[in-house]
Amino acid sequence: MSLDHRRLCGPEESQPPALWAGTAAEDEEDEEGAGTAPRDPCALQPLFARAGLLSQAQGSAYVELGSGTKVLCAVWGPREAAEPGPGRLLCEFRRAPFAGRGARALEPAVRLGRYPRACLAVSALLLQDGGSALAAAISAAALALANAGVEMYDLAVGCALCRPPAPAASWMLQPTEPEERRAAARLTLALLPALNQVSAVLGGGRGGPPEDWAQALRLGLDGCHRQYPVLRQSLLRQSLLRAAQRRDAAATA
């Protein structure tokens, strides 16, 4: 057999990929489920949040979930808008654009009336997707806006849920990436906990009758309230750090 050096030649004998499709899928399921016990559907993943990491932006925040999801968010502005009108909030999620969806989740939290003819730009970068990425991005964006000194009614807290495909399965809080991939239905919501106001709901799939979706909403709202103190504590920690830096600068001046 003559060789064609312009390309990589495959083996002379091969098997159709359909022959191994079932085995590969079964192996993947076995690897994902091996050694893992059923988890509490109401349990939240460990949440780490920190504000004020990027010196190049007016405000910034980093949010990490226990599943490995990592989101870095930056805020610029307010800047003068090119077109006259009320204040505008532009959001970008650099994995899948959610400009309209993300802005709707955050706008109720921001006092845009304080910024007429101005534009606020929010950019969220997904560093690693371990599941519940959009919910983590919403929380990071709200934290970055507050860190930038933007006047807000409250912090928007995001929470994701999914329902496994098994019959009569319960909704689970903050699903991991494998759990989301196998889910029959998904739900992401954003809440302003201090105002008890839902700012966004996004969901779809086979989630069961309306009362099951209502149960998922109640579970998600509880998850948002439980994450709220962590975000507030991160913001308070950064504010105290800034105050200490100003005192040190004044003392050495």
pLDDT at residue 250, as a whole number = 81
Query: What pTM does this model have?
Result: 0.77
Closest CA to 142 of 220, 49, 38, 26: 49
Tell me the pLDDT of the chain averaged across its residues.
Answer: 81
Task: Say yes or no to pLDDT of 99 above 60.
Answer: no
Phi, psi of 155 (to 5 degrees): -80, 135
Q: Measure the CA–CA gap between 206 and 224, rounded to whole angstroms.
A: 23
CATH of the structural domain 41-252, one choice from 1.10.580.10, 1.25.40.10, 3.30.460.80, 3.30.230.70? 3.30.230.70
Indicate if the pLDDT at residue 1 is higher than 80. Answer: no
Residue 3: pLDDT above 60? Answer: no
| Amino acid present at 91 | C
**Main-chain phi, psi angles of 54, to 5 degrees:** -105, 120
124-150 tens-digit pLDDT: 889 989 999 999 999 999 999 999 999
Q: 100-139 in b/e burial notation, b at 16+ Cβ within 10 A?
A: ebbbbbbbbbbebeebeebbbbbbbebeebbbbbbbbbbb
